Chain A
Amino acid sequence: MDQGQSHRIRRRLLALGHFIGLLLAMSLICLPGLWVVLNSFRPTVEIMAKPPVWIPSELNLDNYRAMFGGIGEGGVPVLTYFWNSLVISLTSTVIALLVGMAGGYAFARYRIPGKSAVFVGLMVTRAVPGVALSLPLFILYGRLGIIDTHFGMILVYVALNVPFTIWLIDGFFRQVPKELAEAAEIDGCTRWQAFWKVEFPVARAGIASAGIFAFLTSWNEYALASQLTRSLNSKTMPVGLMDFTSQFTLNWGGMCALAVLMIIPALVLTFLVQKHLIAGLTFGGVKG
């Protein structure tokens, strides 16, 4: 009796310890984000105060108002940047996913001579830091005349994401037993139907996570975008943040406000896809 009770208390304490530990870790991770959100509602004075002001005395929407305001009054073409970011990120994600699905499927299902070499080669391309590519890319793009275009940016991001999407999606298709597609073929599907009706839905969770990954990479990318975009034609939100810097001053409040606008779509998307991410689709159809 007694022992059972002390056991239970121990278990409770352990659970509580876990909870506190996780809370601490989470707050460490979330603090910068929350700070950004908080600062976007505060005047510069308070942001710059030393020692820092933790509890804001006043919250207002001034930074947002200014940002959407006229060019002269600290305004920034937010909507254009947003649109550029969205078009470039979404398009490059879709393409990277399609290529990743084709490539990942091929790697997972077919015997290809030199497969592992090709695979390692793909990974190595990711080992090159993006910035190192910016000068060669700049020259190349300059010659081709695709600097400051959506097309150019999409191309860069597809190239950046494809190795990863192939690698991730290959891993997910490997977990889908090949008998599933075979069963579908026997059930009357063509090879193509078997893929779309069976293998794709089963691997969907994995493909969705590869998609989020690719989208966030493009959405947040700054180093290359800062070199390859220069006007309203193609400037993305991360590059747009630099509009708040001038020779002598930094408009932290405005920057944070734009950063918040950047975070929101990423958050929304993650929430939407989250249910696919939780690998609820366990491979229960197969006993292995």
Chain B
Amino acid sequence: MADVVLRDVVKNYGALPVVHAINLDIAHGEFVVLVGPSGCGKSTTLRMIAGLEAISGGTVRIGDRVVNDLPPRDRNISMVFQNYALYPHMSVRENLGFSLHIAKRPKAEIDKAVAEAAEILSLTPLLDRKPGQLSGGQRQRVAMGRAIVRHPDVFLFDEPLSNLDAKLRTQMRVEIKRLHQKVGTTIIYVTHDQIEAITLADRIVIMRDGHIVQIGTPLEVFERPVNAFVATFIGSPPMNLLPATVAGGALRLADGSTIPMPPGLSVRDGQAVHFGVRADNIMPEGHSMPPTAHMAHVEMPVTLTEPLGTETLLFATLAGTEVQAKMLNPRPVRTGEVLRFGIALDKCHLFDATTGASLRV
């Protein structure tokens, strides 16, 4: 077990920089998720920690060793790949025991470790099969088993669930979390799926174009996004953003209508902004809107409804922009019906229209 520290870590492919001087401190035993859109440099960062990719600048430290120049085998890490990368010519047993076999551990010890890992991941009945004879979920578990057998300092996961169907993905997500509780090893997990990130992480690292945009607990990044990118990337459905102008202590929307200024913001008069509100904070009146001190009210025609069971997602139009709102304890809503919505202003955000930065203080 060990902590992992990245200091000004840079990766260039030729002249092309793909990771720009990132800094990251991961505590011993922590579950950290790197999340961001495809191509933002998550895998590259992970592979530099693993030693599969040379580090162009900065230092990577695992435990008390700077590992920049160590090959993967000397870093005491294990990794689960997106395509699992099981050895197709070996049985599940041999796959699980491979690292110990390479380390020339005694046979009895290997057998014991393999049996233990197989037990944790319910792979015992499959030990003599080849990877080709396993289902996607089983392969995934073998890949995880191969990672835990050697008790590494750090687990690295690169989008391990993206090849599974939705149901299995949810199931494996729970298994991974349970595994972390059981073994307590530091985990660095890469995904492009913000739901995975929120559900799994102790801390989320949000990346974009090779930069770290925000680091924080799931709640922090959800409630206090540093900019409009994080605000729309984290959370489902994504946060509604409405173009607006600050005018005399209120917000003037595109159609000239105004809503009161949300509290706790630093703005100047005339500033062009984006008004951000999550679907959870804009609800039709009379449908269990939790009461807050600062409420605004708007009337919007509903253009589409998406019933989700306990709630219905309402698509409506506000000042020419499509807005998603939530209706708790839903009742049937006709298309075109005009409803009165309440907006919980103290949960709303403002972002500078040009920089995208949050204007919360």
Q: Which listed residue, B72, B77, B87, B163, touches A180 by the CB 8 Å rule? A: B87
Chain B contacts with A in 103-145, Cβ cutoff 8 A: 103, 130-134, 136, 139
Tell me if A186 and B84 are in contact (CB < 8 A): no
Closest to B142 in A: A285
With A and B bound together, what is the CA distance between A198 and B131 in angstroms? 14
Closest to B140 in A: A287
Q: Which residues of B contact A286 (CB under 8 A)?
A: 83-86, 88
The answer to the question of A48 belonging to the interface, with a C-beta cut-off of 8 Å to chain B, is no
Tell me if B131 and A285 are in contact (CB < 8 A): yes
The answer to the question of B190 belonging to the interface, with a C-beta cut-off of 8 Å to chain A, is no
With A and B bound together, what is the CA distance between A267 and B51 in angstroms? 47
Q: Which of A141-149, A152-160, A187-195, A232-240 contacts B (4 or more CB under 8 A)?
A: A187-195
The answer to the question of A288 belonging to the interface, with a C-beta cut-off of 8 Å to chain B, is yes
Chain A contacts with B in 39-67, Cβ cutoff 8 A: none
What number of A residues sit within 8 Å (CB to CB) of B?
26
Residue interface mask B260-286, A partner, CB < 8 A = 1: 000000000000000000000000000
Q: Which listed residue, B73, B89, B136, touches A287 by the CB 8 Å rule? A: B136
Residue interface mask B145-184, A partner, CB < 8 A = 1: 0100010000000000001000000000000000000000
Q: How far is the CB of B127 from chain A (nearest CB, A)?
A: 15
Tell me if A285 and B52 are in contact (CB < 8 A): no
Question: With A281-B88, A286-B84, A286-B86 given, is the CB distance from A186 to B133 under 8 Å?
Answer: no
Tell me if A202 and B78 are in contact (CB < 8 A): no
Tell me if A284 and B85 are in contact (CB < 8 A): no
Residue interface mask A162-186, B partner, CB < 8 A = 1: 0000000000000001011011111
Question: With A285-B131, A288-B83 given, is the CB distance from A186 to B50 under 8 Å?
Answer: yes
Tell me if A285 and B85 are in contact (CB < 8 A): yes
Tell me if A182 and B72 are in contact (CB < 8 A): yes
Tell me if B81 and A284 are in contact (CB < 8 A): no
Tell me if B79 and A287 are in contact (CB < 8 A): no
With A and B bound together, what is the CA distance between A180 and B87 in angstroms? 7
Q: Which residues of A contact B85 (CB under 8 A)?
A: 177, 179-180, 182-183, 285-286
Tell me if A187 and B86 are in contact (CB < 8 A): no
The answer to the question of A247 belonging to the interface, with a C-beta cut-off of 8 Å to chain B, is no
Tell me if A186 and B83 are in contact (CB < 8 A): no
Tell me if A179 and B83 are in contact (CB < 8 A): yes
Closest to B77 in A: A186
Tell me if A198 and B163 are in contact (CB < 8 A): no
Tell me if B146 and A285 are in contact (CB < 8 A): no
With A and B bound together, what is the CA distance between A189 and B73 in angstroms? 6
The answer to the question of B99 belonging to the interface, with a C-beta cut-off of 8 Å to chain A, is yes
Chain B contacts with A in 51-99, Cβ cutoff 8 A: 51-52, 71-73, 77-79, 81, 83-89, 95, 98-99
Q: Which residues of A contact B88 (CB under 8 A)?
A: 180, 202, 281-286
Q: Which residues of B contact A281 (CB under 8 A)?
A: 88-89
Q: How far is the CB of A40 from chain B (nearest CB, A)?
A: 42
Tell me if B132 and A185 are in contact (CB < 8 A): no
The answer to the question of A201 belonging to the interface, with a C-beta cut-off of 8 Å to chain B, is yes
Tell me if A186 and B72 are in contact (CB < 8 A): yes
Q: How far is the CB of A110 from chain B (nearest CB, A)?
A: 14
Closest to B89 in A: A201
The answer to the question of B102 belonging to the interface, with a C-beta cut-off of 8 Å to chain A, is yes
With A and B bound together, what is the CA distance between A168 and B81 in angstroms? 28
Tell me if A185 and B73 are in contact (CB < 8 A): yes
Tell me if A183 and B81 are in contact (CB < 8 A): yes
Residue interface mask A69-96, B partner, CB < 8 A = 1: 0000000000000000000000000000
With A and B bound together, what is the CA distance between A193 and B102 in angstroms? 9
Q: Which residues of B contact A183 (CB under 8 A)?
A: 79, 81, 85-87, 146
Q: Which residues of A contact B78 (CB under 8 A)?
A: 186-187
Tell me if A177 and B83 are in contact (CB < 8 A): yes
Closest to A284 in B: B132
Closest to B88 in A: A285
Would you list the 9 A-B pairs with minimal beta carbon distance, nearest first? A284-B132, A285-B86, A285-B88, A179-B85, A187-B99, A285-B131, A183-B85, A188-B102, A185-B72
Q: Give me 25 A-to-B residue pairs in the complex whose CB atoms sit less than 8 angstroms apart, sorted by A's number.
A: A179-B85, A182-B72, A183-B86, A183-B87, A185-B52, A185-B71, A185-B73, A186-B72, A187-B78, A187-B102, A188-B73, A188-B99, A188-B103, A190-B73, A198-B87, A202-B87, A282-B88, A284-B131, A285-B85, A285-B131, A285-B139, A286-B84, A286-B86, A287-B163, A288-B83
Q: Which B positions have Cβ atoms within 8 angstroms of A?
A: 50-52, 71-73, 77-79, 81, 83-89, 95, 98-99, 102-103, 130-134, 136, 139, 146, 150, 163
Known: A182-B50, A284-B132. 5 other contacts (CB 8 A): A177-B85, A179-B83, A182-B72, A198-B87, A285-B95
